[in-house]
A = this chain, B = another copy of it.
């Protein structure tokens, strides 16, 4: 059955808000040009946003003659959104303002082997701490975006995967966090969130893919400004595509999965078979920490570590070429904790391989970039989801008086 009801188009006010954030200072005329709508419509959209207190006029543009353009800007402190991204090994919490700027950030402990209830209560506490630290009044906080790995039911706010432990499957993540904090909670795939987080930045394209590496590998595709969500609203499972046809079986059932070869678990697993490497780098902590240690060693010339990272790079390049060939995007952005420290090492390798292997490269080039803040992008993106949801569901805000 086809679904007709859901209108995937971004409502005008939301689009205008995004544009104002993107351009920082902008006139109504420019907004009209950028959206393809009329100036009259921009008058209305800007008026709505002003009535919400989200934007204000900040002056006039110089012009040779004629009425000068009146410039509008966001009022960053008009609202705040919380974003939390976590997986087994690591977690990041942020509070962003309306302009998308990170006001507070905290590294948080990953979920580890704990029960979801315990983890959520810790994060709920972190939300309080962060808001207090920046002395942000609760009524200005629109909600919390929660970015996690794996298949999920965004509507219900639950994970569909039994990882890290069976307790997580169907556990009411969104509902419990909402209860514990008193704030609305939206669930989002971490790689997709990273895509949204990257999109919020200044020179963001509207067609790109994020390759996300933290505990595992995933991808988020933003196409024509909208996140791609398959049939069941999930992320793009880049980590479980085969990059070694005769590779070992992965727990997912597939052979030679990218995650097993290029991901932190795969690289660390390889390293743990090498005694000298273990003692030299002091391995044996959690997977991500070990992976970062290996990466640092490779960057500073450790030959054995280099071999491991090279393998990881090469296979990630294969997968990224596949991703680009299938989705036909013009840019790839690297994000996630695993890229935070030496993402540029991966970047160069990817760019080189893409330049010679992407099918569409003669029609358009494909650029690889590192996210502005690789480790925070998913949390920031999750926080942005809150705002988007709000603006896309009509009637949440009082319509301004005419």
Contacts and interface: CB of A to CB of B under 8 A. Distances in A.
Nearest to A238: B326
A356 interface: yes
Contact of A9 (B7, B243, B364): B7
Contacts of A5: 35-37
B322 A35 contact: no
Given A237-B326, A328-B237, A225 B2 contact: yes
Nearest to A322: B241
Q: What class of interface size applies to chain A in its complex with B?
A: 35 or more
B254 A359 contact: yes
How many copies of this chain does one complex carry?
A: 2
Given A9-B8, A253-B361, A329 B230 contact: yes
Nearest to A33: B1
A160 B363 contact: yes
A231 interface: yes
A321 interface: yes
A236 B254 CA distance: 22
A132 to B, nearest CB: 36
A36 B363 contact: no
A356 B250 CA distance: 11
Contacts of A83: none
B231 A329 contact: yes
Q: Is the interface of A mostly helix, strand, loop or mixed?
A: loop
A325 B237 CA distance: 5
A326 to B, nearest CB: 5
Interface string A151-186: 100000000100000000000000000000000000
Contact of A318 (B1, B3, B4, B245): B245
B3 A36 contact: yes
A207 interface: yes
Interface of A: 1-10, 12, 15, 18-19, 34-37, 151, 160, 206-207, 219, 223-225, 228-232, 234, 236-238, 240-245, 252-255, 314-315, 318, 321-323, 325-330, 356-361, 363-364
Given A151-B363, A230-B327, 7 more contacts: A5-B36, A234-B328, A237-B360, A242-B243, A242-B357, A253-B358, A322-B322
